[in-house]
Amino acid sequence: MSKLLKCLYLTLMLVMCMTAQANSIDSSTSPLKAAIDCDDASDFSDRLEGLELPLSTTACDAHLQRKLRDYLGGGSASTERMLGRANQYFPIFEYYLEKHGMPESMKYLAVAESMLVPGAVSSARAAGLWQLMPATAREMGLRVDGTVDERLDMYRSTEAAVLMLKDLHQQFGDWHLALAAYNCGPGRVRRAIRAAGGHTYYPKVKPYLPRESQRYVAAYVAAAYTVNYYGDYGLTPADYLLEDSVASINVYRRLSLSRLANAIGLTSKQIRKMNPSYVRGYIPVSKRGYRVRVPLAQRQAAQEYVWGRPNLVLFDQLDDLEPAKQLAADLDFEVSKWLFGCSSVNLRHQPSIAQQAVEEDMYLGFFSAYSALAMN
């Protein structure tokens, strides 16, 4: 019995030694540890500077390091899912940021806010990719009620968040303070500025901000670093349906999402996942119209169901005058008849260059108003 116990003891010690050695090797060569090692942070700092973010934090910021370990270490599976969603959502973010003259790098803020989960809801009732509060969203023109929550609409919420960030930056003139105001509200930031003796230099204001807001810049920088350097840590984006594989259709009448799904060969779960803003599973009547998203492959089937026409011919929208005129002719529309009450062949004088330009713009506008033509 004593020999058996001795053998077991030696085996256990050998396993423990091998495990300790492996852990030592892993910790000494881990790219994550090397990237955020404050004893030699020059390479990491160079990487942060290379991102050309409009705001910064020190490489040795404790919260930055903690967030990086969350993203690139233990939470790598959720990070890979986030990276897959980034491939889907970032083109939308970039479009609205460019539209409103904002830094493209503001797209990383949504990663810090929601990990790019479109249906994310916090304990404080903030919701969506950009984690907008109900009152804030309504102030930005979004509908938030028991039927439609446009904070969960990636297009409407993104433009609202971009406009909000633009306004905050105009108010404070500094991206550090603008992001803090996005997190805790502009009133709290103004109180912090007063407590700092009127200084607007962020390091002086930071101690008077709420703790979460003090860490907000570091969370943003960690998100930006992760999205740009994930490959160095062995991470791979998960596969997601990319936005160029999705079609959007404007709907003006009441529409059941489950009936639409059944008509185009999707499950109710699939269609609701693609359209989380319709809280009760239907689109209400609206003069402005609501957007419903479907896979591109089901676009025509969805349009036929929504428009009630089984004979649609879809066509691409181009800034091309000839197809615009052809469509107008097919629908018996002529600009001169609309302008002058008679056909162009009956006009006594040739149209001027200015009139031609007006007519061309009207034809192109007419063309852009149609996505399909119902054929007999």
Residue range 6-20: average pLDDT? 53
Global pTM value = 0.77
Pick the CATH number of 56-233 from 1.10.530.10, 1.20.810.10, 3.10.560.10, 3.40.50.2300: 1.10.530.10
pLDDT tens for each residue of 239-287: 886 777 888 888 989 999 999 999 999 999 999 999 999 999 999 999 8
pLDDT digits over 182-226, tens only? 999 999 999 999 999 999 999 999 999 999 999 999 999 999 999
Q: Evaluate if residue 29 carries a pLDDT over 60.
A: no
Share of the chain above pLDDT 70, in %: 77
Question: Would you state the structure tokens that stand for residue 139, as one six-digit string?
Answer: 């102030």
Query: Which single residue is written with the structure tokens 């979004």?
Result: 142
- pLDDT tens digits for range 203-215: 999 999 999 999 9
pLDDT average, residue stretch 13-19: 52
Q: Is the pLDDT of residue 312 over 70?
A: no
52 labelled catalytic: no
> pLDDT value at position 166?
97
Q: Is the pLDDT of residue 303 over 70?
A: yes
| Residue range(s) of every CATH 1.10.530.10 domain in the chain | 56-233
Catalytic residue among 80, 104, 113, 212: 113
* Per-residue model confidence (pLDDT) at position 279: 95
pLDDT at residue 7 is higher than 90: no
- pLDDT for 343 equals 66
189 CA to centre of own chain: 26
